[in-house]
Every structure is written in structure tokens, then in C-alpha cells.
Structure 1
Amino acid sequence: MYGNIGANPLSEEAIQSPNHERSHLAPYTRFDNNFSQEAFTTKKLQIIFMKKHSEELSHLKKCLQREVMVSEKPFSWSKTIHKAIKCPDRRFYFWWRIANYLYRDGVAKKLAIRINRNLRNKYGLDIKLGAVIGEGLSISHYVGIVIADCCTIGKNFYIKQNVTIGVKHNDQQGKIYIGDNVNIGANSCIIGNNLYIGDNVTVGAMSFINKHIPVNCTVYTPKSENIEIVKKPE
């Protein structure tokens, strides 16, 4: 159905072939109907994947290896694309990582914005492309998540639904720094300017965080255990 997954569609010989786009690119661009087939032309694939000595590209491959391949084996584009086709739950990570790379590396910002807009419409979350997120991103439920451009987040970041990580003011210069192995509970809000959250932190559900959080701790907003029940008039 998807052609020869084991073949390398990005080799110089394949790219130079006049039948390359029909025989190699088309199968890979069909695996998600929410994205147009023109999203990745031969020229853009050359720019994206054949670029060498790029720190952003190295980061992209590490993230795709952890989140899409889900393997300790060396990174492979063919295996990554195969997993994105075979495992629908990994497609968001594939597309967002590609868009994040295109945007941050300045390769094709307009294409990146278009991909991210489609992701927002399909999954119901808004992770800005200026955000820096280490490998091992894990999202429990996509709906309602908002992460601003100003965020720098470490490895193994686990986030649940309806979480907002953002700024106090639209024109603020400060960032939000989140360390490695951080777990954010559902319906939490992290707002600040030069806010630091350390490594190995767990944020409880329905918490409001606007202060620095040290490493190796659990933080939550205390909640009332009282539940008021008012009977409706008959």
C-alpha cells in the first residue's frame, strides 16, 4: 500500500530520478489526510533532510527517534516514516517536530506555520513553534494544551489535557524554563516571566504556578474538600 518502506527515498539517486515524487514521496505524504500532498516537495525534502552539521537537525532526529521510532536503534528516516504511518498515536509528534525544526532553523517558516495550524485544528492544542522541547515529549490527552513561544523545556516532559504554559504579558522578554523529567497534571496553569521549574518536578492537577519551583519536589495548589449540594426547588 505504501510502496517500499525499506527503500531510502532521500538518497541522491532517488531524488535525481524523474519518477521520485510519484514513486517515493507520494506514499509518505498520503498517510495523514489532514495535510496536503504538496506539503513536502522534492526540493523541500532536500533542504530538510539532506542538510548537514545542523544542531537543530540533530535535535530533530533525537526527538523522532524517542517519540516516533520509540527505539534504541540508530535513527532511520524510513523507520520513522513507517512508524508514523503504522501508529496513528505517534503522528502528532512526527508532524510537530518537523514543523518545529522548519520554523526554528528558518528553513521554511510558512510551511511550518501551515502544518502547525492543521495540527491545532485536528488535535485541539496549540504548542507554539518557537518553543524548545527536549526529546521524550509525552502527551496524555491533546485537548486544551497551550504552550507559548517563550518556553524552554527539558527531556521527558509529560503533560496532560487543558494545561496552559504561558506569559504574563504579550510583550514580555523573559522565558519559562522547565527542567528534565517534569510531569504536569491536568487543568494546570503555569504563568510567569523568567520562571524556573527544576528537574524531577510533579505538578498536581488543577494547580496554579507563578513562582520558582526547586528540583525534586511535588507541588500543587491546595483545594477545598468541601462540596456544597443545593437542592433544586421542586
Structure 2
Amino acid sequence: MENKYSALTHYEFLRLCIHSETLGLEREFTWGRVFRRYLRNRHIRFQIKWRFAHYFYAKGGKFNVKFANWLNDRITERYNVEIGLSAMIGPGFRIGHHNGIVIASIARIGSNFMISQNTTIGIKDKGDGFIVIGDNVKIGANSCIISDNMKIGNNVIVGAQTFLNKDLADDVICFTKREYTIIARSDVPENAASGDALR
């Protein structure tokens, strides 16, 4: 699947992503600045490591792919974030909290994407499709996006605890509607101390 970054070399795409995610595009890029930022800010270490794993995987070749898989396995174990190396994520990628995040290899994600903890972007059944997500999309915590072929537009917000398996147009907010029941404790039967009467 072609994307708007296809014209860039693997190195140019790596540099663009690391520039935007560690320094910000308004600041001059040097690898020295990136390294200092890497040492000082633990929150961006996963992105830098995954970007390098993706870079080596995309370059191809037996050694590069083997190293990329090894590195991705290590960071998956350490950060509890699993992103397939075949996934494509544009620059400006951000993670709210590094815990319980899964992004399948069929994901094709635009720029300035933000995902929160305990969220899955995954495959329903193995097929030939893609999960395409546009630019400036935010996914709330504890959400689940499952499909073999779907598209989420630009400038979309998916609220926390949302289950999504259908396409979304540009410029929308999507959330799963929930209802809460609140009752006075005085209205609870006396035999409900164990909670059985409320089930």
C-alpha cells in the first residue's frame, strides 16, 4: 500500500520521525541532541527504539530483519507495547502511557497519532486488507479497534473504552455510550451485604 512518505528513503523517513517525536520540527536536528534527549526523557525511548527497529526491518536483508525482530522483541518485553514491524506510522507518533498497547502489522497510520494505554488496533480475521488511520487522530484508553479492512479519517477522536469496527469519516468524535445506575444505600436490601442482590 502506497503512502505519502513513499518518496522518502528509509533513512529520511527515520530521521523525520525521530526529529518530530524527540525534538519537534521547529528545532534544528542533530543526532547529538536526539541522544541527549533520549538519555533525559524516558518517555521517548520506546519510540526511538521502535523507529530504529522499523528502519532495519524496512531496509530488508537477512541480518537487518533478524536484528529488527530481536530489537522489537526486547522493547516489547520492556515496555509492554507491541507494534508489528510491518505497521506504518507517520511522524509525530505519541504514546500516553506505555502499557498494554497492541498495533497490528496491517495498520497504516498518518502523522500526529496519539494512543493511550490498554488499547488494541488488531486483526479480526487474517485477510489482505488494512486498518487505515488518518492524520491527527487520538485513541483513548482501554479502546479496541478490530477489523481486517477499515478506514478512520483525519482529525478524529476515539473516546476511552470504545469498541470500533466500522469506518469513520473525517472530523468526528466516536465513543461508546455508557449508562450508570446510582441508588441510595438505604434502598439496598439488608441481605445485599455480599453484593449478590445487586447482580
TM-score, structure 1 as length reference: 0.72
Secondary structure of 1:206's aligned partner: coil
Secondary structure of 2:108's aligned partner: strand
Task: Look up the match of 2:115.
Answer: 159
Moved over 6 A (4+): none
Task: Look up the match of 2:70.
Answer: 114
Task: Look up the match of 2:19.
Answer: 65
| Residues 188 and 74 of structure 1, relative CA distance in 2, 3 Å threshold | same
Structure 1 residue 188 displacement after superposition: 0.5
| Structure 2 residue corresponding to 1:232, chosen from 190, 194, 197 | 194
Distance 2:182 2:81 in 1: 31
Give the AA of the match of 1:172.
Answer: G
CA contact (8 A) 1:151 1:176 kept: yes
Task: Look up the match of 1:55.
Answer: 9
Structure 1 residue 223 displacement after superposition: 1.3
Structure 1 residue 221 displacement after superposition: 1.2
Secondary structure of 1:110's aligned partner: helix
RMSD over aligned Cα atoms = 1.8
| 1:83-94 matched pairs, under 5 angstroms | 83-94=37-48
Of 193-202 and 218-227, deviating more is 218-227
Please state if 1:195 is matched with 2:157. Answer: no
Give the AA of the match of 1:57.
Answer: Y
Task: Look up the match of 2:3.
Answer: none
Secondary structure of 1:190's aligned partner: strand
Matched residues, percent identical?
39
CA contact (8 A) 1:62 1:75 kept: no
Secondary structure of 2:157's aligned partner: strand
Please state if 1:181 is matched with 2:143. Answer: no
Please state if 1:204 is matched with 2:186. Answer: no
| Residues 196 and 58 of structure 1, relative CA distance in 2, 3 Å threshold | same
Secondary structure of 2:51's aligned partner: helix
CA deviations 1:39-89 (Å, max 9, x no partner) are: xxxxxxxxxxxxxx9622111111100112235233222221221122222
CA deviations 1:15-60 (Å, max 9, x no partner) are: xxxxxxxxxxxxxxxxxxxxxxxxxxxxxxxxxxxxxx96221111
Count, aligned residues: 180
CA contact (8 A) 1:68 1:91 kept: no
Q: Which runs of 5+ in 2 are unaligned?
A: 1-6
Distance 2:168 2:193 in 1: 42
